[in-house]
Amino acid sequence: MEVGYYGMPLGFRFHPTDQELVSSYLRDRALSGKPLGKPFIQEFNLFGQTPPWVVWEQFGGNSLLDQDLFFFYELRSRSDSDSRSKRQIEAGGTWSETSSDKVLGLDGIPIGDKGHFRSFFPDLKGI
């Protein structure tokens, strides 16, 4: 059998449901405080110096085809007195939430939120 991405069988795709992501992977990570050790969910500071297009290339880029990238990152407040999350990218842009959905558990009770974000770099307009 041919081996593909991360030693998985060729053709394997990581497509967990939102409920599976929150109740299994992310819950375990949040409770343990230890890295997941799963190759499909990366630990990466999305708000650091690395622009989003470099992150995309670093974690597979166009070879991902129709696959999503999954990241576990720590939300940080903008300041001690501000409860809003910092969304500024040190490389000069920001993350803007385009939509948000509640993630429901098997019993229908909300167990998390799923946000969809896009990056915005005002200095790159017209390039």
Task: Give the span between the Cα atoms of 116 and 70, in whole angstroms.
Answer: 12
pTM of the model: 0.64
Picking from 93, 91, 88, 86, the residue whose alpha carbon sits closest to that of residue 121 is 93
Picking from 36, 38, 40, the residue whose alpha carbon sits closest to that of residue 14 is 40
- The Cα diameter of the chain in Å comes to 56
DSSP state of 28: H
Task: Give the span between the Cα atoms of 113 and 108, in whole angstroms.
Answer: 13
- 3-state secondary structure (DSSP) of residue 11: coil
Bridge partners (DSSP) of residue 119 are 95
Per-residue pLDDT reduced to its tens digit, 4-32: 656 777 777 788 899 998 888 888 888 88
Per-residue pLDDT reduced to its tens digit, 43-96: 888 777 788 888 888 888 777 777 778 887 776 666 667 666 666 676 677 777
